[in-house]
Amino acid sequence: MTYDQTVEWMFAQLPVYQFQGASAYKANLDNILLFAEHLRNPEKKLNFIHIAGTNGKGSTSHMLASILQEAGYNVGLYTSPHLKDFRERIKINGREIPKDFLVDFINTHKPFLESNNLSFFEMSVGLAFAYFEKEEVDIAIIEVGLGGRLDATNIITPLVSVITNIGIDHTQFLGTTEEAIASEKAGIIKPGVPVVIGEYTSVTKKVFKAKAAEKESAIHYAKTVSQNYESDLKGSYQEPNKKTAVKAIQILQSISDFKISENQIINGLQTVSANTGLRGRWEKLHENPTVVCDTAHNRHGLEVVLKQVSEQKFDLLHIVLGVVNDKDLDEILPLFPSAAQYYFCKPEIFRGLDAGVLQHEAAQYDLIGEIYDSVSAAYSAAMSNASADDFIFIGGSTFVVAEIL
């Protein structure tokens, strides 16, 4: 198979949470453990930092990778979902996994994948571990896909575990309270492995402390980082992510042979996008009018992003908005400002919510606008209507941002 045929087979043959939602979720680690054994357990031969959390996982993962790259290490990075190309999920020093490696891997293991009915995510995790082992990375930064305790990445024993924050999201899998969700995320805490906590509440802190005590793991808090660092990632929500990454680096150095200077931390944080290829985090696409896109898609993330939108200077605000069909609209729509012109659209995936439905539901919160046949049509209309002093925000879903980029 060619690369395109291989990726098409991966998407069509096996469940993909990114596209299908709840039907693709597997609540156990049996298959990934079987696959890891089939691959001769590459995860047992690698150094890891493991990152869970409701929001900020991707940004923190890329910050850590950039810092370690600046320090001269060979750094693997596994994240999800991707924006445009599957290979964005698996990188070494910012370079995507080669097409040839991916094609050969799938062709070689296809009988096993089919006979054991592995999920898309399980397959991707095994692929990443095998690739990182072959390329002999010094360390791999691994982002949890969903939750923590039962996530396919949770077969690793990292040098440091990281939990960025807790918000109410994916309640059908993780629970409906902060405490329940924190318990699932805390499932990545391993015996004797230090854990860094980015943000917490009184409720989630108790959960993290209890789990760390149970596992005899030292617990550290990002808020103890007093220095303010600059970054090329400009969203205001990056402030706790920067401190979380720095604290994780500090702990890594204290327990291992990894050496990273203060200048390498500073340079790494200022070159995240260049070093790793990260996109879609408060990314400015145009001036006059100012156009910004952001992948925030749940209440916790959108609250911060929309606050930053409100702090911008503009004459009129235009919002290109699309969501997936399992999104709790009563949770997120009240966050959006009524003093804006809306351009409702449906991202081109199976889970995309019909733009007419979104328009109707948004009207209940006095969010008024027209519907468009595509994300690109909505964006074009916003650009046509906006003056040089206006502001256009594009978001609501990772998939909306992906179509623009």
Torsion sign, CA atoms 297, 301, 302, 308: negative
Phi, psi (degrees; rounded to nearest 5) at 90: -130, 110
Q: Residue written as tokens 């054994």? A: 37
57-70 vs 238-255: helix axis angle to the nearest 10?
50
Task: Return d(Cα 250, Cα 156) in angstroms, integer.
Answer: 21
Of 376, 393, 286, 288, the C-alpha closest to 340 is 393
Of 94, 100, 88, the C-alpha closest to 124 is 88
Both tokens assigned to 214? 């149970």
Identify the pLDDT of residue 252: 98
- Omega before residue 289 within 30° of 0, cis: yes
Q: Which of the 8 DSSP states describes residue 281?
A: S
Task: Return d(Cα 263, Cα 261) in angstroms, integer.
Answer: 5
Both tokens assigned to 142? 């691994």
pLDDT by residue, tens only, the chain of 405 residues: 899 999 988 887 655 544 444 444 456 899 999 999 999 999 999 999 999 999 999 999 999 999 999 999 999 999 999 999 999 999 999 999 999 999 999 999 999 999 998 988 999 999 999 999 999 999 999 999 988 999 999 999 999 999 999 885 544 455 468 899 999 999 999 999 999 999 999 999 999 999 999 999 999 999 999 999 999 999 999 999 999 999 999 999 999 999 999 999 999 999 999 999 999 999 999 999 999 999 999 898 999 999 999 999 999 999 999 999 988 999 999 999 999 999 999 999 888 999 999 999 999 999 999 999 999 999 999 999 999 999 999 999 999 999 999
* H helix runs in 54-135, sequence order: 57-70, 99-115, 120-134
Phi, psi (degrees; rounded to nearest 5) at 278: -65, 135
Phi, psi (degrees; rounded to nearest 5) at 63: -60, -45
Using only the alpha carbons of the chain, give its radius of gyration: 21
Identify the pLDDT of residue 351: 87
- Kind and range of the H or E run holding 291: strand 290-293
Please report, for residues 20, 154, 193, the alpha-carbon distance to residue 189 in angstroms, rounded to integers and kept in the order given: 29, 9, 7
Residue 161: strand pairing partners = 50, 195
Q: How long a stretch of residues is the chain?
A: 405
Identify the pLDDT of residue 170: 45
Q: How many C-beta atoms surround the C-beta of residue 261 within 10 A?
A: 11
Q: Which of the 8 DSSP states describes residue 323?
A: -
Identify the pLDDT of residue 14: 55
Identify the pLDDT of residue 26: 53
Of 164, 155, 165, the C-alpha closest to 190 is 155
Strands 95-96 and 90-92: antiparallel
Q: Which of the 8 DSSP states describes residue 302?
A: H
